[in-house]
Chains A and B, each alone.
Chain A
Amino acid sequence: MNVPVVSARGLQRFYEVKEGFLSKPKILRALSGIDFDLQPGKTLAIVGESGCGKSTLARLVTMIEEPTSGTLIIEGKEVSTSDWAGLRKSVQIVFQDPYGSLNPRHKISDILMEPLVINRPDMPASVREIRAREMLTLVGLRPEHFDRYPHMFSGGQRQRISIARALMLDPKILVLDEPVSALDVSIQSQILNLLVELQDRLGLAYLFISHDLSVVRHFADDVIVMYLGRAVERATKERLFNQPRHPYSKALLSTTPRADPEAKRDRIKLEGELPSPLDNLPGCAFAPRCWLATDACRAQRPKLEGDDHQVACFHPL
């Protein structure tokens, strides 16, 4: 029971950055070790500001890039580059920008059927078409949309098409890389409701990447807060939103707008900038901006500890 569909252990991804002709290439630590388990039918949200490694994580899980080190286990199988092709069917992705993620020269029918053409070459063309049409209705589009081109659709409709395409191979895991942040607020809720509905119906597990905490609050089961390539806190949604323990999580939560004009605003303002991922700081990455930081924080890196509510901090709130 409770076998995770995806689990990651110590997942890392470094890039080499060349600065000059003769200087040694520097190492950019986009993702420096992250662990998580994603249960079937659940949603795990990854939140953090730009540059914290969220999208790199998405690219590793969808097997677009190879991890520098660490293990990734998908549906009980440890992933290595040689069996990427076989595992593609289980993990699919929906991108942030609905205007860039659909091929402008392909019809919706081709966009939807392409995954089947590639992965199920034995399937007859008529069956492919039937399945693509079913999927179109499932995501709330009409049959006459089948033969149109992407430029004839609005952003929300395009995102529905992206979701339909991702579901064509019956994946167990859907990576949602900020799927609604490019959409109008009114369309956002439609897409989120669609995603919830599809999760119930198809038993999908979502890896939901976002920087929008109001969306996460509505959508996720578990939340991981990331800062500079590392997880700083992980907990269930309720716990994290009611009682954040890491100072960064608290600061992040204090910035989400609320629909109550009377509420007292005690927004925590963070000073300074995100440290460069090129410098490998010895201590806690958040220490330079943290109002609770002590010398211990700058000297040593806290580990992610705890049972249900894990936090990487020497002075948890």
Chain B
Amino acid sequence: MVDNTSSNGVTRPGPLREFWYYFRENRGAVFGFWFFVGFVFCAAFAPWLSPYDPTEQFRDHILQPPAWQEGGSWTYPLGTDPLGRDMLSRLISGARYSFFVGIVVVTISASSGIIFGLLSGFAPRWLDSVIMRVMDIILAFPSLLLALVLVAILGPSLTNAMIAIAIVLQPHFVRLTRASVLAERQKDYVTSARVAGAGLRRLMFVTVLPNCLAPIIVQGALSFSTAILDAAALGFLGMGAQPPTPEWGTMLAESREFILRAWWVVTLPGLAILVTVLAINLMGDGLRDALDPKLKRS
């Protein structure tokens, strides 16, 4: 009477094992992942990893080149900046700010985006239209320009820059969530929950949302890098973190005038931004490949 097909000795790997199996196939993604782990490690243990205080000025060692170049010394492995601050310490502390920006921006934009997306997926047509048109308007602006305007209104600081970037990134989450919600809502299990008497809130958060999460996670990973990039850009324009904060974009802006005399002051923060963003994007692509059932070879 009992039909058993799933208990013939072969156990299915756990969801994490399975995820890692697919993720591992993408070499770039694995590289990105390990770089990201290192980045998080730097951000978490910055005060212990960095040899000096990032704001401490060594007036005798202004603009000292990195250790491997003539005139450099291992006291300051990556050299010093125009005020005699240790570059390595500043870069490590900068990781902390960038990570902070990424986490806060993704948290704010993803959570509000998911809520608006769910609302507009379940709402009557007029409310859906209102929400989506507002999101279209936000998307119609060049994102950095809109962030600049918002920071100009709120006043330049790292916190305000984060808020502005979160607002700029949020419509992507809204659209993504709404699209998945509309697709999931047609399915029988949602109707079945309604027949069981589930209220709107339960339908949204317990029934439908868990089934929409895969694309949102990927978007979250990719937004993380966009947030870091935008925060650096705002910092570079003087609208983000203010000196002497060792934020990578702000560091770039401060040292613009030394681009010909002391390459390391400009190149190193730029390189840090580049590699971090690249690594996170690679990881995000791998996440998408591993989480999207349509791209899976089973």
Contacts and interface: CB of A to CB of B under 8 A. Distances in A.
Secondary structure of the A contact surface, majority rule: loop
B196 A119 contact: yes
A102 B6 contact: no
Interface stretch (A151-159, A293-301, A304-312): A151-159
A115 B197 contact: yes
B interface residue count range (under 10 / 10 to 19 / 20 to 34 / 35 or more) = 20 to 34
A211 B205 CA distance: 36
Nearest to A99: B188
A169 B5 CA distance: 29
Contacts of B198: 114, 118
Interface string B4-22: 1111000010000000000
Interface string A135-158: 000001110100010001110110
A95 B210 contact: no
A140 to B, nearest CB: 5
Contacts of A124: none
Contact of A97 (B188, B196, B207): B188
Contacts of B199: 118
Contacts of B195: 62-64, 88, 91-93
A63 B1 CA distance: 33
A275 to B, nearest CB: 27
B2 A141 contact: yes
A100 interface: yes
Given A88-B196, A118-B198, A142-B4, 11 more contacts: A64-B191, A88-B197, A92-B195, A96-B188, A100-B188, A103-B193, A153-B6, A154-B3, A154-B5, A156-B3, A190-B3
6 tightest Cβ-Cβ pairs between the two chains A and B: A101-B188, A105-B210, A115-B196, A100-B188, A95-B188, A103-B189
Interface of B: 1-7, 12, 187-189, 191-199, 202, 207, 210-211
30 contacts: A62-B195, A64-B195, A85-B197, A91-B195, A92-B196, A95-B188, A95-B191, A97-B188, A100-B187, A100-B188, A101-B192, A103-B189, A103-B211, A104-B189, A104-B211, A105-B210, A106-B210, A114-B193, A115-B197, A118-B197, A118-B198, A119-B196, A119-B197, A141-B2, A152-B12, A154-B3, A156-B3, A157-B4, A157-B5, A169-B196
